[in-house]
Amino acid sequence: MAGIWQELPRFLTWYNGIFLLNALLNTLLLSIIGCLAGGTIGLSLAIIRCARGRAMAVPRAFAWAFTEFFRRLPPLVVLMLAFFGASVARVDLTLFQVALIGLCLIATASLAEIVRGGIVSVHPNQWDSAAALNFGYLRCVLTVILPQAWRVIIPPAISFMLLFIKDTAFASQLGTLELTYAGKVLTTKGFSAALSYGTVLLLYFALSYALAGLGRRLETSIGIPADR
């Protein structure tokens, strides 16, 4: 442990600071873009999956298969699928973009399932009233069902997003420069693992803890009792 104090002056350089900050920013970007894209696509998939009627059978089956497949895979498998998929398809993407695609797939599947849970939680009589008033499916979902489903969707969605920040760590296995990868780089530069990964853990903690607090504030502000 004493070793850490000795290497600390060498560690706390301007250069390392910028390096870690950049990595932290990338982790944040992966998390935010992943959640936004995953939220948007997941919402669409959930809406498709809840549609009735034979005309929607094929899109519905696709949405079902996509959701059930990707949320039953470890993040690392999805990321590797994205990585090798991109190389097989010969599309020229940066490692960051590849990781982002993989992470979006993960977030999409999980958030689609969470939104679906919210949609089915709304009392069926709301669909009846809307249908009797000539609402189409999409209008009913958007103006009647989702506004009531949010209270059910938001708590698990926030929980997922907080877990998702930690899942972005697997992007390091593709060589994407984010916090975890930065830790690896620091150890190869000769800093002790305790200091390198300790710092990385600390940065993750700050990020996740701050966002968890934000999530709790959001929940209480929309009137969901905080019990976590």
Partner 1 sequence: MGYTLQYGQVYHYIPYLLGGAWISLQIAFLCFCGGIAIGMLNAVALAFGNRLAAGVARAYVTFFTNTPGLVQIYFIYYALPDLHIVLDSVHAVVLGITLNAGGYLALILRSGFLSVPVNEIDAGVTLGMTRLMLLRYVIVPHMIGVLYPAIGNKFILMVLGTAVAGVFGVEDLMGRTINANAESFRSIELLSITAAIYVAMTICATIALSGVGMALLRRRVRFAG
Partner 2 sequence: MAFLQIADLSATYGRSPVLSGVSLAVEKGEVLSLIGPSGSGKSTLLRVLIGLLPPQAGSVTLAGQRVDYAVPAALRALRGRCAIVFQQYNLFQNMTVLNNVMVAPLKIKRRPRPEVEEEARALLGKVGLSAKLHAHPSELSGGQQQRVAIARALAVKPELLLLDEVTSALDPELVQEVLDIIRLLAQEHMTMIAVSHEMGFVREIATKVALMSEGTVVEIGTPAEIFDAPRSERARAFISKIIRAH
Residues that bind partner 2 (CB under 8 A): 125-126, 128-135, 139, 143-144, 147-148
Instruction: Please identify, using beta-carbon distances, which residue of 151 and 184 lies nearer to partner 1.
Output: 184
Q: Are 117 and 153 within 8 A, CB to CB?
A: yes
Report the candidate in 185, 134, 190, 193 with the shortest Cα–Cα distance to residue 19: 185
Binders of partner 1: how many residues, by CB under 8 A? 47
Contacts of 99 (CB under 8 A, 6+ apart): 30, 79, 82, 168, 171, 174, 176, 178
Instruction: Please identify, using beta-carbon distances, which residue of 22 and 148 lies nearer to partner 2.
Output: 148
Report the candidate in 41, 169, 31, 61 with the shortest Cα–Cα distance to residue 111: 41
First to last CA, the chain: 34
Q: Taking the mean position of all CA atoms in its chain, how far away is CA 156? A: 12
Contacts of 4 (CB under 8 A, 6+ apart): 192, 194, 195, 198
Contacts of 161 (CB under 8 A, 6+ apart): 31, 35, 211, 215
Decide which of partner 1, partner 2, none touches 129; Cβ closer than 5 to 8 Å per partner kind. partner 2
Structure token pair of residue 69: 């497949």
Decide which of partner 1, partner 2, none touches 139; Cβ closer than 5 to 8 Å per partner kind. partner 2
- 226 is a contact residue toward partner 1 (CB under 8 A): no
CB of 135 to partner 1, least distance (A): 28
Which of 17, 57, 85, 175 touches partner 1 by CB under 8 A?
85
Which of 193, 214, 218, 226 touches partner 1 by CB under 8 A?
193
Which of 64, 212, 216, 224 touches partner 1 by CB under 8 A?
212
Instruction: Please identify, using beta-carbon distances, which residue of 61 and 138 lies nearer to partner 2.
Output: 138
Which string of x and - marks every residue 52-81 that binds partner 1 (by CB under 8 A)?
A: ----------------xx--xxxxxx--xx
Decide which of partner 2, partner 1, none touches 74; Cβ closer than 5 to 8 Å per partner kind. partner 1
Instruction: Please identify, using beta-carbon distances, which residue of 36 and 201 lies nearer to partner 1.
Output: 201
DSSP-derived secondary structure for 90-136: T----HHHHHHHHHHHHHHHHHHHHHHHHHHHS-THHHHHHHHTT--
Structure token pair of residue 197: 């990964």
Question: Site residues (CB under 8 A) for partner 1?
Answer: 1, 3, 68-69, 72-77, 80-81, 84-85, 88-90, 113, 117, 162, 165-170, 172-173, 179-180, 183-184, 187, 192-194, 197-198, 200-201, 204-205, 208-209, 212, 227-228
